[in-house]
Structures are given as structure tokens and as C-alpha cells.
Amino acid sequence: MTAKNPLRLPSVKLIAIAAVAGLIAGAAAVYVKGMGSGNGEAQSAAAAQCEAAKGKVASLSSLAKGQVAAMVGVNEPRKLQSLAFKGAEGQDLTLDSFGGKTVLLNLWATWCVPCREEMPALNTLQKELGSEKFEVVAVNIDTGDDEKPKSFLSETGVDTLGFYRDSSMGVFNALKKEGLAFGLPVTLLVDDKGCLIGSMNGPAAWDSEDAKALVRGAQS
């Protein structure tokens, strides 16, 4: 990327740029204000719903240890409204689609070696603890069609996880903007109200007793 040196810009241009930026910012402010109180009320309701999750965040400090020590409680539990991906039948899904369940959301790709290594462990975690109250939601972000990720799961005996996909990588980019994703794999812990309570970058032994204790604690 070519570096820009603002000192070389004539002062007239700087003034013009600032003026345009001010107009854009003002227009954006008017647009947001013009949206009315509905959006603000929805955000307030979501924040109130996540208020109760603060206790679960606090408990992560004692549960995130050993094999899952990299799991970090969030500063403020919140809804991740921008996350969207596809289900096995191509249907549109968000975290709200799993309401009532504690979710371990994991992003992975076939070209990510640590991801490939932890998939069997995630499969075991789902097999042992998966229920109407908990699900491992492993979202593949390979570009292209479904053939490669499906073949990988079949070849490695991953037979319990649901098949979730986002070939656009939009879900990863959304988490990156939130400061939650720096690479792959990335794993989020979301409570049964859809509130984010913890995040982890990097792999973990998800079939370990430490991981199971973490999940059970997040459900309590």
C-alpha cells in the first residue's frame, strides 16, 4: 500500500476534504437519528437480556484452566447480531437460531492444520455433551463448494457435528471487526440467551475433562 503524506496536500484540499468528511458524518448522524427509537429499544432489550450473563463470565476465571486456559471471559456480555452462516440444507442461520442452547461456536477450515487436528475432539465433545441444552456449532469457512469440507469430515470420522458453512468468510470478518478473531481456529462460548461470554483463539483439547467442565459451568 502506498503511504500518503498529508503534508504534501495544499491547505485548500485539506479544507475541502475536512468539509466533505463533516458533511458525511453529519448525514450519518441524521440517518441514525432518523431510524427512530425502535432500534435503540431493541439494543437496550438485548443488553438487559445479557446482564444476567455477567455471572457466567465471572465463573470462567475458575473454569478456564488446563486444556482450555486460553478461553477468556468478555468484558461485557453481548449479542453478536452480525454473525450469519448456512445450515446443512443451505438455510440462513444466526446465533438466535440456537436459542435455548449454550453454544460452542468454532470457525475452521480444511487448510488450517490446527483446525483439522481439533475437529475429532470437537466431535467427541458434541457426542458426549450435545443435547437440547448444548451444541458444538463448527462453521467451516472454506471458499468454494461443500465437497472438500464434507470429504474431510467423512475421512476423519467426524460424524456427530452438524454441517455449518460460510464460504464468504463473512462470519470470520465479522468476528475480526469485533476484535475476537485473529486467525484460525477461533472459538466462542455463547450462553442459552445468545449472549457472548467467552472467546479463544487457537486450538484446544475439546474432548478433555477441562473442556467438559467449562461447558457444564457455562450451562449452570
- Residues 37-94 have pLDDT tens digits of 455 565 666 778 899 999 999 999 899 999 999 999 999 999 999 999 999 999 999 9
Spatial CB neighbours of 104, under 8 Å, sequence gap ≥ 6: 122, 125, 134, 135, 136, 137, 187, 188, 189, 190, 206, 215
| Amino acid type, 179 | G
The sign of the dihedral angle between the CA atoms of 161, 164, 167, 172 is negative
27: pLDDT strictly greater than 50: no
**Residue 47: predicted pLDDT:** 77
Residues 6+ apart with CB under 8 A from 201: 70, 181, 182, 183, 185, 186, 187
| Of the candidate ranges 47-61, 150-164, 177-191, the one whose mean pLDDT is the lowest | 47-61
Neighbours of 12 (CB within 10 A): 8
Contact 128, 160 (CB under 8 A): no
Write out the three cell numbers for 38: 425502535
Per-residue pLDDT for 36 more than 70?
Answer: no
Between 20 and 117, the more confident residue is 117
Q: Is 217 in contact with 59 (CB distance < 8 Å)? A: yes
pLDDT at 41: 62
pLDDT confidence band for 190 (50 / 70 / 90): very high
Report the mean per-residue pLDDT for the chain.
Answer: 85
Whether the pLDDT of residue 22 is over 60: the answer is no
More confident residue, 128 or 39: 128
Beta strands in 41-145 (DSSP E): 72-79, 85-86, 92-93, 102-108, 134-140
pLDDT value for 90: 96
| Residue, of 22 and 136, whose pLDDT is higher | 136
Average pLDDT over residues 2-16: 39
Q: From start to end of 80-154, where are the E strands?
A: 85-86, 92-93, 102-108, 134-140
d(CA 2, CA 99): 46
* 111-124: average pLDDT: 97
What are the cell numbers at 213? Answer: 467442565
* For residues 208-216, average pLDDT: 97
More confident position, 30 or 174 = 174
- CB neighbour list of residue 164: distance below 8 Å, 6 or more residues apart: 85, 86, 87, 88, 93, 137, 138, 139, 140
Q: Is the pLDDT of residue 28 over 50?
A: no
pLDDT for 147: 97
Tell me what pLDDT residue 21 has.
36
- 91-112 mean pLDDT: 97
Rounded Cα distance, 70 and 28, in Å: 39
> Residue 220: pLDDT band by 50, 70, 90 thresholds?
confident
